[in-house]
Amino acid sequence: MKFRIYLFVFLLIANVLHSQDNHYMINMGGSRSALLGGAVIGGVRDNSAGYYNPAALAFLTTNSHSVSSNAYQLQDITFDDGIGKNLELRSSQILLVPTLVSGTISSQLIPELRLGYSLAARDFAQIEASARFESSADIIPTLHDGIHLGGGKFADAFEGNEDFSGQFQLNVNLSEFWGGLSWAMLLNDDLAFGITWFVVLRSHSQSKNANAFAVDRFSYKVASNQILESIEYWNVRTFPKIGFSYQWNELKAGLTFTMPGMYLLGQGTVAGILTSRNIIRYNEEGSSTEIPIELVGTDRQQDLKADYKSPLSIGFGLDYKIFVSTHLAFSAEYFNSVDKYTIIQPKDKIFFKGDIFNGNTADLNSKDFLRVEEAKKSIINYSIAVEHKINATLSVYLSFRTDFNNRSNIQFDGLTPGISTWNIYHASFGGMYRLENQEIAVAVTGSYGRDREYLQFANFNGAKASVLEGFITGITNKTSVLLQEIGLMLGYTYFIE
In this predicted model, what pLDDT tens digit does every residue of 357-407 receive, in sequence order? 444 555 678 998 899 999 999 999 999 999 999 999 999 999 999 999 998
Give me the CATH topology for the region 2-494: Porin (2.40.160)
Summarised one tens digit per residue, pLDDT across range 298-333 is: 999 999 999 999 999 999 999 999 999 999 999 999
Predicted confidence at residue 373, as pLDDT, reads 94
pLDDT value at position 11? 34
Model confidence band, residue 474 (pLDDT cutoffs 50, 70, 90): confident
Judged by average pLDDT, the poorest of 9-13, 368-372, 471-475 is 9-13
Grade residue 20 by pLDDT with cuts at 50, 70 and 90. very low
Closest CA to 420 of 64, 174, 130: 174
pLDDT of residue 425: 95
pLDDT at 360: 52
pLDDT digits (tens, 9 = 90+) for 168-211: 999 888 889 999 999 999 999 999 999 999 999 999 998 999 99
Give the C-alpha separation, 176 to 430, whole Å.
Answer: 26
The per-residue pLDDT of the chain, averaged, comes to 86
Whole-number pLDDT of residue 182: 96
Q: 358-364 long-range contacts, Cβ below 8 Å, gap at least 24?
A: 360/2, 362/2, 362/5, 362/6, 362/295, 362/297, 363/2, 363/6, 364/6, 364/9, 364/10, 364/297
Strand partners, 438: 494
Q: Give CA–CA dist 456/470, Å, rounded.
A: 20
Give the model confidence (pLDDT) of 78-104 as tens digits: 999 999 999 999 998 887 766 788 888
16 has pLDDT over 70: no
CB atoms within 10 A of CB 423: 18
pLDDT score of 18? 32
More confident residue, 158 or 307: 307
- Does residue 113 have a pLDDT over 70? yes
What's the confidence (pLDDT) of residue 253? 98
Per-residue pLDDT at 353: 61
